[in-house]
Structure 1
């Protein structure tokens, strides 16, 4: 079928997570630096890898680390980001291929400015891994397809494991089982994707799920070649909802403040949209949303890759409805180099 490679890599993720977590639990893959040795941690990436950096930085901040994410191009183009400092700084770069020109060139500037560098990639022997101070290979995330799926989820799990505690790791260890459960929802997600002639897609989230909105919107753009948008959840009410209609599909990552989340969901449904609610608290939206998908993980941050697995299936089904081939998205290449 169209997108066969993409589909195989999409559904392979729970097994890849299990193999990865086994290595992490066994100590065969470990954090090569001590975060306490640094005053500031800068996370870098481009496209999907930048959204991964945003999610990882949010995770780290909530655990007391001074972390922030910036696109690789900003570290390359803005001298402010690569200025010298008396602070002890660690730059962590994410790249599936390890050959992204923006990240490689940014790493060189940051090294020259006195940063210690750490590279996380899914490609053995890549430039990122050979040119960084502390290379981390996530072989379970390697994929042949163009759209980043398994690579994103594998690198995010690794970052969360590295920068989490024992309780976090116990939660992350549940992901393979939950992932298999979610794959069983593919028929319902396909039915939802085909319910209407959707031509606009919106992703809403807050806190740790906001980076997921950006990645979800990108998956629709890449696989289905369709218009998609991402917003902080309640911000959608401040203007963007003017474009909502019966051909709009909205994915809402459920909010920790249930009353606000349900009020938003009711507001969205009054606009005539189709609403998919995903998250730890999704069951609470059963009477409002067109479909709800509980991730089975109480912590939405730890359940990020499970939530995105759902989005990836919805985006794939949307691509097929629109007669697009996810294996060969228009205008895209697997690695952006210049």
Structure 2
């Protein structure tokens, strides 16, 4: 999308548009990721850690292993592992940490503690030569180029895909069960490019939300799209400073639905496969209550306003791709409010002290 006359274009939207190239770089790194997964096959207790967007990325990335009945997989904020779960880590553990900068204080500290307990450690980053590469057993550096905005966009998507591929490869080797995402990964960059064509439509939606004085968002997801909902909520919160939250889809009915009737928009990323009836019932129920709904789905019969993704891919694939329209929405909503999404208030590229 070309920026309107006299409207500044920030780095954040350029980083989002660069996502397909970043995903291409992840695909090219798959041989290296596969080698790291091969060395981790013997572990049966696996911890994924990160902070902020990196935590949501590993929450998504751990999904293939969380479904594997032969291994225990956990995704935790780095600080929570330090404060509450470090005693669960031992020499039978694998700990996977993610940090865009490679310098995030809590993540570095958690990895040091875990390695001291005999755990095998893996660190994902986009900064070669950063601290994380020197303290883990296996560093994985993704060559996705610089992300100029403080806000994580293309790096989030790259970390989500790379850790999910790591989990899928490891899960397949542990259980022998075929992991669909492994075969789909090469198509994901081109699918991401196609989603960027929604930019004008999403920008117009953001303009509508601003004109209607929408000041609260609830992002909803289920299964692998739940971490994506959390990340979508964070994008709006950290760029526009409005109230947002991320919830499991059907948990919205257990209390939070009382907020319907306020200036509120529901953003739903949901791909339930044979359970799509639950999504249809949900949309029907809350549209009937007057809820403003933005839906990202593969379903073809949920209304013309739906941002549709191709139905032939796995739920993990579609869930990951759905972050792109959420990021675009956050960007145009923030710019429309007069915010600078590249320099959000009180934030820096990483937290230096724990």
Per-residue Cα deviation, 1:228-253 (whole angstroms, up to 9, x for no partner): 11111111111112122363111111
Q: Which residue of 1 aligns with 2:288?
A: 270
Long gaps (5+) in structure 1: none
Post-superposition shift, 1:36? 2.4
Q: Does 1:286 align with 2:299?
A: no
2:199 equivalent among 186, 208, 219: 186
Please show how residues 138-177 of structure 1 align to structure 2 within 5 Å: 138-140=142-144, 142-164=146-168, 167-177=180-190
Q: Does 1:316 align with 2:320?
A: no
| Structure 2 length-normalised TM | 0.88
Q: Which residue of 2 aligns with 1:241?
A: 257
Contact 1:40–1:87 (Cα < 8 Å) also in 2: no
Per-residue Cα deviation, 1:161-184 (whole angstroms, up to 9, x for no partner): 223257422212111111111111
Distance 1:85 1:70, change over 3 A: closer
Q: Which residue of 2 aligns with 1:52?
A: 57
Distance 1:264 1:66, change over 3 A: same
| CA distance in 1 between partners of 2:145 and 2:287 (Å) | 37
| CA distance in 2 between partners of 1:215 and 1:168 (Å) | 21
Distance 1:132 1:260, change over 3 A: same
1:330 equivalent among 345, 349, 352: 345
| Structure 1 length-normalised TM | 0.91
SS of the aligned residue for 1:334 comes to coil
Contact 2:90–2:114 (Cα < 8 Å) also in 1: no
Where has structure 1 moved over 3 Å in runs of 4 or more?
A: 28-31, 84-87
Post-superposition shift, 1:313? 0.7
Contact 2:295–2:306 (Cα < 8 Å) also in 1: yes
Post-superposition shift, 1:60? 1.8
Distance 1:36 1:327, change over 3 A: same
Q: Does 1:208 align with 2:208?
A: no
Long gaps (5+) in structure 2: 1-6, 170-178
Contact 1:45–1:95 (Cα < 8 Å) also in 2: yes
> C-alpha root-mean-square deviation of aligned residues, in Å?
2.0
